[in-house]
Amino acid sequence: MANHKSALKRIRTSEKKRVLNRYQHKTTRNAIKAIRVATVKSEASEKLSSVISMIDKLAKKNIIHANKASNLKSKLTRHVASLN
């Protein structure tokens, strides 16, 4: 267990950040799955801009790596473009 006030505070803040990061990451993953499941192009393209924004925010906060974010955005864009 921590012995210093600053260490106790660090434990509290890191737990809050961990929970928030998990929530944001899981929400983004669910949104990505929704696009991949979508069969109508108009429906998927509506969701695409918001999901790309979510992915960019995760990369900016270092929750996911920048290259992974770029890879996800590319694959999703190609998927939406291939829909009829």
CA distances from 47 to 1, 42, 53 (A): 45, 9, 10
What domain count does the chain have? Answer: 1
Instruction: Identify the band that residue 60 occupies on the pLDDT scale cut at 50, 70 and 90.
Output: very high
Residue 57 has pLDDT above 80, yes or no: yes
Instruction: Identify the band that residue 36 occupies on the pLDDT scale cut at 50, 70 and 90.
Output: very high
Instruction: Identify the band that residue 53 occupies on the pLDDT scale cut at 50, 70 and 90.
Output: very high
CB 44 within 8 A of CB 83: yes
Tell whether 46 is covered by a domain.
yes
- The whole domain housing 45 covers 40-84
Residue keyed to tokens 């995760």: 58
Tell whether 32 is covered by a domain.
no
